[in-house]
């Protein structure tokens, strides 16, 4: 069951290395599911797809309330799963919300998400990571350009880019409140990053990433080849995007927070091994090693 551990995506290299074409598919196999052929082709070509109206307004407001509720939980005040903004100390992200709140636990096993993830990855899936990103108003700091897979491969031992992320908007994503930018098609290129990974790099990187960051030249080349799309839409919009898609976000000085729930589904045929370029694996709350496949809950 374990995928080979040969390193087909070397990164955290001592000197700049050219980007390499991805050898793996984006849509795996041809498992039946809710997505039509056109959507799958678009997802495969651009590395992402947007899914509107998956959830009712009632469902959404219950998820948003749950996410807000976590911020004020006294028990979480000193919990390592709560990540704060570097300057303002406002809550930036909370990891494992699905272990902290019943309704988010439910969401993670919702067939509207699960069936899409299974169809894209061509197998049963489990949760590699789950977090709420709050991106508070006024002081929210963005996330610089990166490929998630580059980090998950280097620091978590994920062998191949056979993972897909679902981002569920809890607030409206305007073009100007730090909404996600993606480079369509960039997921077909693997960009190795320079620099070796310090032990416990995650303590720093979750607030501001400095290792696992592509060279400006690589970013400029990809942007000029692929262009930039933004994920914009009302609360409830859902973005599925490939683990190797180059993405990032600017800061948010508007009064409007840009919050989402972010769930990473990994294929059970792509289980984590030892990190490919880090001294030791990151904690389970960031890179889950409970590989039991998810079963759907009726929504």
Which of positions 249-278 make contact with a copy of itself (CB under 8 A)? Answer: 249-256
Minimal distance, residue 210 CB to a copy of itself, in Å: 12
Helices (H) and strands (E) in the chain, counts: 7, 12
Which range in 29-37, 185-193, 200-208, 244-252 contacts a copy of itself by CB under 8 A?
A: 244-252
Alpha carbon 24 to its chain's center: 18
Query: Whole-number minimum distance, CB 216 to a copy of itself, in Å?
Result: 5
Task: Kindly provide the b/e burial profile for residues 164-177, where b requires at least 16 CB atoms within 10 angstroms of the residue's own CB.
Answer: bbbbbbbbbbeeeb
Q: Applying CB under 8 A, does 87 fall inside the site for a copy of itself?
A: no
Identify the residue among 176, 285, 291, 299 touching a copy of itself (CB under 8 A): 176
Strands 229-230 and 181-182 turn out to be antiparallel
Q: Give the per-residue contact string, 117-156, with a copy of itself (x = CB under 8 A; - = no).
A: --------------------xx---x-xx-----------
Closer by beta carbon to a copy of itself, 115 or else 172 = 172
Instruction: Please say which residue, 198 or 250, places its beta carbon nearer to a copy of itself.
Output: 250
CA distances from 243 to 102, 146, 183, 255, 263 (A): 26, 10, 13, 30, 11
19 binds a copy of itself (CB under 8 A): no
- Of 121, 125, 187, nearest in space to 150 by CA: 187
CB of 83 to a copy of itself, least distance (A): 19
């Amino acid at each position: 069951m374990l995928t080979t551990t040969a390193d087909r995506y070397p990164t955290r290299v001592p000197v700049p290395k050219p980007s390499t074409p991805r050898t793996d598919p984006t849509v795996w196999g041809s498992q039946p599911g809710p997505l039509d052929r056109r959507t799958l082709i678009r997802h495969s070509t651009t590395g992402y797809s947007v899914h509107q109206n998956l959830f009712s307004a009632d469902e959404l407001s219950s998820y948003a309330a749950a996410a807000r509720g976590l911020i004020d939980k006294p028990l979480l005040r000193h919990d390592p799963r709560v990540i704060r903004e570097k300057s303002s100390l406002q809550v930036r992200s909370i990891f494992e919300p699905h272990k902290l709140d019943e309704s988010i636990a439910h969401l993670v096993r919702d067939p509207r998400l699960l069936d899409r993830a299974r169809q894209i990855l061509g197998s049963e899936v489990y949760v590699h990571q789950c977090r709420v990103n709050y991106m508070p108003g006024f002081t929210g700091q963005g996330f610089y350009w990166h490929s998630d897979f580059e980090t998950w491969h280097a620091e978590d031992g994920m062998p191949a880019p056979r993972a897909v992320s679902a981002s569920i908007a809890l607030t409206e994503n305007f073009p100007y409140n730090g909404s996600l930018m993606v480079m369509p098609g960039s997921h077909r290129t693997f960009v190795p990053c320079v620099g070796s990974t310090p032990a416990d790099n995650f303590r720093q990187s979750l607030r501001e990433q400095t290792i696992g960051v592509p060279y400006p030249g690589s970013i400029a080349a990809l942007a000029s080849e692929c262009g930039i799309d933004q994920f914009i839409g009302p609360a409830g919009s859902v973005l599925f995007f490939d683990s190797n898609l180059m993405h990032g976000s600017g800061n948010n000085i508007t009064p409007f927070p840009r919050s989402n729930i972010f769930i990473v589904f990994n294929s059970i045929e792509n289980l984590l091994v030892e990190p490919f370029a880090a001294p030791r694996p990151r904690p389970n709350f960031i890179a889950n090693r409970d590989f039991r496949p998810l079963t759907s809950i009726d929504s």
